[in-house]
Amino acid sequence: MKYIAPIHTLRISVDMTEIDIDHSEAVCMIPVQFEQRTATELLKGIIRPIERAGAVADPRMWSVSERMYVIAMYMSATRDDGPDFPIGKGKFSDYLLDGADYVADVPFESNGKELIYSPLHGYQAEIIETMIAGGTYSKTSYSWWKACIAACVRGADEEPIPYVDDGQYETELAKRIESVGTLADSEFAELFDSYLVAAQRGAHMLYAITNVHGVLAAQVSEPDAEKGVPELAPARFPALSAVSVRARQIMGVL
């Protein structure tokens, strides 16, 4: 059994443990198009919540940045090439935001309206991913952007869409997505650009972005050829890759 240090942040207090083989199977058996669902299953297998006032125990209620961070820290502790494990031509530290923690609300303005950006959370990402995988929306970067704007942006005097269960939230989110999709070309372009700036201001732990591949982390190190820091593509921290190669071989998913 490998030792993995506990994680304590503004909203997270968890002990970490090496995943057991039953949970490894559960992670491996989820279809590959459901990365967010796979991330949730992995997190359920590697965390043990520590009771603390203000701590959020359910990883579906963590932001996607918090989720990627915990998975990446698990990989850092368990991989043979860790802790600063390679990612393409870069390494884990090229994506790590030191000292930046969860920000609930980021006020911004677009099209003459006062708005609030809130981070994308696990349950929202799972639902959006399921809607796209199921064909409700096309598998494009635009579908992710439109859905994330619907989920993460609201008027300054509006409340977020309440979450009761996935079915209820999906119905409400679909209405918001439809509304975003009816914006005029110029209105959407301005909202999109403002949304990107707000999302960057609210970045924490890892700078979460979305594109056709779903949720990824953008490089935060400054590319510098003289210092040997390359310009890097967005990184994924696939939950499946946190399961050991041998366990994946046993499960027949390599």
What is the residue-wise DSSP string for 135-152?
TSS-SSHHHHHHHHHHHH
Domain's final residue, options 166, 185, 201 = 201
Q: Is 13 among the domain residues?
A: yes
Do residues 142 and 58 both lie within one domain? no
Q: Is 206 among the domain residues?
A: no
Do residues 111 and 177 both lie within one domain? yes
Do residues 77 and 27 both lie within one domain? yes
pLDDT tens for the chain, 254 residues long, are 788 999 999 999 999 999 999 999 999 999 999 999 999 999 999 999 999 999 999 999 999 999 999 999 999 999 989 899 999 999 999 999 988 999 999 999 999 999 999 999 999 999 999 999 999 999 999 999 999 999 999 999 999 999 999 999 999 999 999 999 999 999 999 999 999 999 999 999 999 999 999 999 999 999 988 777 899 999 999 999 999 999 999 999 87
Do residues 237 and 185 both lie within one domain? no
Do residues 92 and 162 both lie within one domain? no
CB within 8 Å of 223: residues ≥ 6 apart: 229, 230, 231, 232
Q: Is 208 among the domain residues?
A: no
Half-sphere exposure of 16 (CA within 13 A, CB side): 20
Half-sphere exposure of 93 (CA within 13 A, CB side): 4
Look at residue 98 in the predicted model and tell me its pLDDT.
86
Q: Is 45 among the domain residues?
A: yes
Instruction: Give the whole-angstrom CA distance, residue 36 versus residue 49.
Output: 20
Domain's final residue, options 160, 186, 201 = 201
Look at residue 202 in the predicted model and tell me its pLDDT.
97
Look at residue 254 in the predicted model and tell me its pLDDT.
75
Instruction: Give the whole-angstrom CA distance, residue 28 versus residue 106.
Output: 36
Q: Is 174 among the domain residues?
A: yes
Do residues 71 and 144 both lie within one domain? no
Do residues 110 and 92 both lie within one domain? no
Cα torsion through 46, 48, 49, 50, rounded to 10: -130
β-sheet bridge partners, residue 215 = 210
Instruction: Give the whole-angstrom CA distance, residue 82 versus residue 84.
Output: 5
Q: Is 93 among the domain residues?
A: yes
Query: Containing domain of residue 81, as a range?
Result: 4-97+227-251
**Largest Cα–Cα distance of the chain, in whole Å?**
57
Do residues 88 and 115 both lie within one domain? no
Amino acid at 236: R
CA neighbor of 102 nearest in space, from 67, 71, 129, 74 = 67
β-sheet bridge partners, residue 16 = 4, 47
Look at residue 228 in the predicted model and tell me its pLDDT.
78
| Residues 59-79: b if buried by 16+ CB within 10 A, e if exposed | bbebbbbbbbbbbbbbbbbbe
User: How many domains is the chain partitioned into structurally?
Assistant: 2
**Residue 13: its H or E element:** strand 13-16
Predicted TM-score (pTM) of the model is 0.96
Q: Which two tokens stand for residue 245?
A: 């190669």
Look at residue 32 in the predicted model and tell me its pLDDT.
92
Do residues 93 and 116 both lie within one domain? no
Do residues 66 and 38 both lie within one domain? yes
Look at residue 182 in the predicted model and tell me its pLDDT.
98
Q: Is 218 among the domain residues?
A: no
